[in-house]
Amino acid sequence: MIPSLQGLAALPSVFLLSALLARWLSRRRAGTLALLDHPNARSLHQVAVPRSGGLAVCGALALMLAWYWLSGVGNGGSWHWAPGPAPLWWIAAAALPVALVSLFDDFGHVSRRLRFAVHLGAALTLLAGGLAWDTLDLPGMDWPLPFALAAPLSVLYVVWMVNLYNFMDGMDGFAGGMAVCGFAALALLGWHGGDPAFALAAAGIAAAAAGFLVSNFPPARIFLGDLGSSTFGLLAAGFSLWGAHQRLFPLWVAALAFSPFIVDATWTLMRRIMCGERIWEAHRSHHYQRLVLAGWGHRKTVLRAYALMAAAAACAVAAPRLTAPEQWLLLLAWAIIYLLVHVRVGLAERQGSTAS
């Protein structure tokens, strides 16, 4: 088992490396690593901003993986090679091709078919590693799913998480904040569940996201880019399946931790499909985009979003210790909260149009 004290000592290094790399990359506006993000029809920013922040995050995560690979304490306190938990390496194997194709997409256009094929391959990699949505574990329910149903559900879940995180990465400090809150919640759930290896890995991702957030908080000096957002999405899917597989928490609890992104992206996608819109085209109809356009601005919108993310994360951490009826009440409460958020966004838009 990974020594918890050593792991906790490594987290500041992950944070610091991510922060320093993000700061360095944000200053290379004229260099090849700048990968400038020029405003387009979907953008909320007005000037070109480097979108190379994913390199900083992935560099910090590589440090964490190297620590897992090399560190460990054997019997009697002697050092020995310890590669870490197997699911972590299946997740890393799935994340690598997603990161590479996303990096190529940051440098230039990559076809939707190629991106989908890589995302599908990553989902199948997790499935091969035993990280599958194989149980319907809603409150009070624990029903095993046959492989014929578990396999497509798992693939759909992974592919959607990768893409929705990319869709939601459109505002300063937004995706980084969701990664901090979501993975911090998973870390606490893993710690409470008695799995420090899982907890420290999730905490490492949160630390890398927090380091990047130093340069990404509005006004952002650097963006995640497809590399960072797609990697975060794959990691969110992989870690939630890993934790559910280890019985650290039900899958719906992990979904609750990331629900500010899941609900907005899914709601927006379904609305666009019902309206007959071309869902593959750029748009600015997510709730957070509508609030910024209504006059709230990046800072006010993201701070309100952080409060929502922190509340969802806190409820996710508390949920496993509730009774089944209390868990259903919690889910109902969050359904009402998101309905009220939708209503509030519409009200903000009407107020903004009246003021203008």
pLDDT for 97 equals 96
Read off the pLDDT of residues 194-206 as tens digits, 9 standing for 90 and up: 998 899 899 999 9
Identity of the residue numbered 37: D
Q: Which residues form the domain of 206?
A: 4-355
pLDDT of 236 over the 60 cut: yes
The pLDDT of residue 80 is 43
In single-letter form, the type of residue at position 320 comes to P
Question: Averaging pLDDT over each range in 33-47, 244-258, 294-308, which range is the top one?
Answer: 244-258
Q: Which residues contact 48 (CB under 8 A, 6 or more apart)?
A: 29, 36, 37, 38, 39
Among 84-88, 179-183, 299-303, name the most confident range.
179-183
Residue of 322, 337, 283 whose CA lies nearest to 40 = 283
Task: Report the chain's mean pLDDT, rounded to a whole number.
Answer: 86
Number of domains within the chain = 1
State the average pLDDT over residues 216-241: 92
**Smallest Cα–Cα separation from 45: which of 196, 163, 171, 204?**
171
DSSP state of 75: G
The predicted structure's pLDDT at residue 1 = 42
282 touches 41 (CB < 8 A): yes
Residues 6+ apart with CB under 8 A from 179: 205, 206, 209, 232, 236
At 60, the amino acid letter reads A
pLDDT of 21 strictly over 50: yes
Q: What is the pLDDT of residues 40-71, one digit of tens each?
A: 555 554 555 777 888 899 999 998 888 777 66
Closest CA to 51 of 22, 80, 17: 22
Q: What is the mean pLDDT of residues 294-323?
A: 95
Structure tokens belonging to residue 59: 């560099």
pLDDT in tens, 118-171: 999 999 999 999 999 999 999 999 999 999 999 999 999 999 999 999 989 888
